[in-house]
Amino acid sequence: EDQVTQSPEALRLQEGESSSLNCSYTVSGLRGLFWYRQDPGKGPEFLFTLYSAGEEKEKERLKATLTKKESFLHITAPKPEDSATYLCAVRRANFGNEKLTFGTGTRLTIIP
């Protein structure tokens, strides 16, 4: 069974204090690993897809990296507007298997 574990559950940072969120996964053949941002009471917003170990993607203050067992979401010099819950998900490589397995998320708070 596919599993995704995110840590920490919650993280409070001062504005400008860089840090990383972790997503550990086990999946039988990885088709893709996804990062989403979710604000309270809203649907998840797509951020990145990573397909293979060693891949990196960046968007503004966010950088996602992938190894064979985990992914990191690095946040550089965060601002209060980066406060949100960040979700990680994986999709297995089977053809026709559309299912995403999600972690429970990391709730990030950036203090001004």
Partner 1 sequence: DGGITQSPKYLFRKEGQNVTLSCEQNLNHDAMYWYRQDPGQGLRLIYYSQIVNDFQKGDIAEGYSVSREKKESFPLTVTSAQKNPTAFYLCASSIGETGIEQYFGPGTRLTVT
| Interacting residues with partner 1 (CB under 8 A) | 4, 31-32, 34, 36, 41-46, 49, 87, 89, 91, 96, 98-105
Q: Which is nearer to partner 1, 40 or 54 (CB)?
A: 40
Helix (H) or strand (E) holding 90: strand 84-92
**Smallest distance from the beta carbon of 7 to partner 1, in angstroms?**
14
Q: For 77-106, b where at least 16 C-beta lie within 10 A, e where not — what string?
A: ebeeebbbbbbbbbbbeeeeeeebbebebb
Q: Which is nearer to partner 1, 78 or 105 (CB)?
A: 105
**Smallest distance from the beta carbon of 18 to partner 1, in angstroms?**
26
Three-state SS annotation for 11-30: EEEECCCCEEEEEEEECCCE
**Smallest distance from the beta carbon of 103 to partner 1, in angstroms?**
6
Q: Which is nearer to partner 1, 77 or 93 (CB)?
A: 93
CA quadruple 72, 76, 77, 83: dihedral sign: negative
Q: Which is nearer to partner 1, 42 or 68 (CB)?
A: 42
**Smallest distance from the beta carbon of 14 to partner 1, in angstroms?**
27
